[in-house]
């Protein structure tokens, strides 16, 4: 089984199935198709499936032209028919792993996908989980589901591995094919097959001893960032109270050629990884009677930042004899990071909701997000307004949440036309005139 599948992968004869066609799954589809594989994409969202089959992309950094070329070549098709999983040789799971309202892991998407695969699982299948989760999920959750109603043996009859996604949307330096891919299987055969599969589309694979190590690798990467961002956010709050510019402090510290890596404060954590992943490990740690105090403290600090932003905005309005209730607030940027169309876990959504709860009239501008989508947690039916002199002048406060390039380029224009700018990203650092209108948050 192993040797036959290796031969099919190396000969580009293996058919690849990607379950979940979002910001992780669709780039994988593109890479596999580009490298000559036939790929079937699976999703439960009919809108996505129909768009892809029509050659249209819904992710900004993957042009529609690329999707159309894959469709026209016959190497890619999207479907809602999970019976077609039986036609694939390699199945990659790229489904969401959100948190519950109590910040506990929600594995329902992984479990549902594993059940869909289990009824179509056959000898020779390779299944790889890419969804970020706690150590042990592949072995303790996915494996039992896959083998519940058959006699297939992992590592012999079929193969199961974990390879953490490392997507960074719109990163101009690194792409799916150039980012090293960590792979760890449940058995040596599983690891070897996953290595062969990913080696066919990426420049470098990093083989580790187990799926648990691979799962933990992703958590370490994002917990490292979460802790350091929490540190600099806490310093921002302290330095603001002390009358010290945190951005100037970071610039000065960054001149040290060793022992320091700059992290930057902001309005709160965004993206699917950093706001969520640390809580997966904290939850799992309780099984071992271990308190992850450092991780949980970082989570507390980062969770508090949107409230701090609203507090700073409130104080800035008060100094101008205005209340939040009834004030017009124009939010600039709702994507979770600059120059992307990705709104997952963006702090902008919580900040807008907090402001509306306090009676503010909130509007937003974002050149990458023309309309706010309905999300699991937030449902704010608004459309982006034009970034005009009139819109800026009408606002009692302009709040910079995401530092898109256009806002940095038009920073002087924004400040010239706004009576008050609360800047959470230092996007107005180059402004020369009317700096008295700018409040850092």
pLDDT at position 167 is 85
pLDDT at position 344 is 87
Please choose, from the candidates 10, 16, 59, 58, the residue with its C-alpha nearest in 3D space to the C-alpha of residue 41.
16
Please give the domain boundaries of the chain with CATH numbers for all domains.
2-209 (3.40.50.720), 225-440 (3.40.50.720)
Q: Two tokens at 315? A: 């104080």
pLDDT at position 144 is 98
pLDDT at position 276 is 84
Q: Is the pTM of this model over 0.85?
A: yes
CB 36 within 8 A of CB 12: yes
**Coil/strand/helix, residue 249:** helix
pLDDT at position 332 is 98
Q: Residues for the chain: how many in total?
A: 441
Catalytic machinery residues: 273
pLDDT at position 91 is 98
Tell me whether residue 325 is exposed, middle or buried, using C-beta atoms within 10 angstroms of its C-beta: 0 to 12, 13 to 18, 19 or more. exposed
Please choose, from the candidates 242, 85, 69, the residue with its C-alpha nearest in 3D space to the C-alpha of residue 158.
85
pLDDT at position 228 is 95
pLDDT at position 394 is 97
pLDDT at position 99 is 85
Distance between CA atoms of residues 278 and 227, nearest Å? 9
- pLDDT lower than 50: segments of the chain: none
pLDDT at position 173 is 87
Please choose, from the candidates 412, 344, 411, 415, the residue with its C-alpha nearest in 3D space to the C-alpha of residue 375.
344
Span 314-369, pLDDT tens digits? 999 999 999 999 999 999 999 999 999 989 889 999 999 999 999 999 999 999 99
Distance between CA atoms of residues 164 and 185, nearest Å? 12
Span 41-96, pLDDT tens digits? 999 999 999 999 999 999 888 999 999 999 999 999 999 999 999 999 999 999 99
């Amino acid at each position: 089984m192993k040797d036959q599948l290796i031969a099919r992968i190396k000969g580009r004869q293996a058919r690849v199935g990607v379950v979940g066609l979002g910001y992780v799954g669709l780039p994988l589809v593109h890479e596999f198709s580009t490298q000559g594989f036939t790929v079937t994409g699976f999703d439960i969202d009919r809108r996505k499936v129909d768009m892809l089959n029509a050659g249209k992309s819904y992710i900004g950094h993957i042009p529609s032209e690329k999707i159309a070329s894959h469709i026209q070549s016959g190497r890619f098709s999207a479907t809602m028919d999970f019976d077609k999983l039986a036609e694939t040789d390699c199945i990659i799971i790229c489904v969401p792993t959100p948190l519950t309202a109590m910040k506990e892991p929600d594995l329902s998407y992984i479990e549902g996908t594993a059940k869909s695969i289990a009824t179509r699982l056959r000898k020779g299948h390779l299944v790889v989980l890419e969804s970020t989760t706690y150590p042990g999920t592949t072995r303790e959750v996915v494996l039992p589901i896959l083998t519940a109603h058959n006699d297939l043996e992992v590592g012999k009859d079929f193969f199961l591995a974990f390879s953490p996604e490392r997507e960074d949307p719109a990163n101009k330096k690194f792409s799916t094919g150039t980012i090293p891919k960590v792979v760890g299987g449940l058995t040596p055969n599983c690891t070897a097959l996953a290595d062969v599969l990913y080696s066919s589309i990426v420049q470098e694979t990093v083989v580790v001893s187990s799926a648990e190590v691979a799962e933990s690798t992703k958590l370490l990467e994002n917990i490292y960032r979460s802790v350091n961002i929490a540190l600099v956010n806490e310093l921002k709050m302290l330095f603001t109270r002390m009358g010290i510019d945190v951005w100037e402090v970071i610039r000065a510290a960054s001149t040290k050629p060793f022992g320091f890596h700059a992290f930057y404060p902001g309005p709160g954590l965004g993206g699917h990884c950093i706001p969520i992943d640390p809580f997966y490990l904290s939850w799992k740690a309780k099984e071992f009677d271990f308190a992850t105090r450092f991780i949980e403290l970082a989570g507390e600090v980062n969770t508090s930042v949107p409230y701090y932003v609203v507090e700073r905005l409130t104080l800035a309005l008060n100094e101008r004899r205005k209340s939040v209730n009834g004030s017009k607030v124009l939010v600039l940027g709702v994507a979770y990071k600059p120059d992307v169309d990705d709104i997952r876990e963006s702090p902008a959504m919580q900040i807008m909701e907090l402001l509306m709860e306090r009676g503010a009239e909130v509007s937003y501008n974002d050149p990458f997000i023309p309309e706010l989508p309905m999300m699991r947690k937030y449902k704010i039916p608004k459309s982006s307004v034009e970034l005009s002199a009139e819109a800026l002048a009408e606002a009692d406060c302009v709040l910079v949440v995401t530092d898109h390039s256009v806002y940095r380029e038009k920073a002087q224009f924004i400040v010239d036309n706004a009576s008050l700018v609360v800047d959470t990203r230092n996007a107005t650092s180059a402004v020369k005139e009317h700096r008295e209108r700018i409040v850092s948050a």
